[in-house]
Amino acid sequence: MEPFVALVVGFCSARLAGLLGVSALDAWHPALCVGLAVMFLLTALAHFHPSLRADLIGMVPPRLPRPDLLVTLTGGLEIAGAIGLLVPALSRWAAAGLALLMIGMFPANVSAARRQVAQGDPLGRRTVFQAVYVGAATLVVL
């Protein structure tokens, strides 16, 4: 739920700034880029925060090697993507990459829900939120 709140608050704050005169944010597209960037920075922090990192490592399906390295890699990709979203020339590419990353990581959510190893939303709710996030990234790409 926290990533969704970050997305909405980031988007609304950026859109409001645009309406108040920040010309770079005076449209839905750049405001959505800011919302997604805020969301991905929040989720990336979980990859490195000691108390949250263990849960993310536990979500990695057991058949994959080096879950700690995979969590570090995906966190780094989320940070890079968030930065890319804030660079107009890169925003569409960053959004496409992040959408693919979310789709690629979704099996970990399914695996974690089936193994009941991670805290958070049940699989049905996670699926809905994931569709919203991928949809938002896709809107940036278009």
**Model pLDDT, residue 82:** 98
- Confidence at residue 119, expressed as pLDDT on a 0 to 100 scale: 65
98 membership: H or E segment, kind and range: helix 91-115
Per-residue pLDDT tens over the stretch 101-139: 999 999 888 888 888 877 667 888 889 999 999 999 999
Closest CA to 12 of 39, 37, 42, 32: 32
User: What whole-number distance in Å separates Cα of residue 48 and Cα of residue 76?
Assistant: 9
CB distance 115 to 109 below 8 Å: no
User: Could you tell me if 109 and 134 are in contact, meaning their C-beta atoms sit under 8 angstroms apart?
Assistant: no
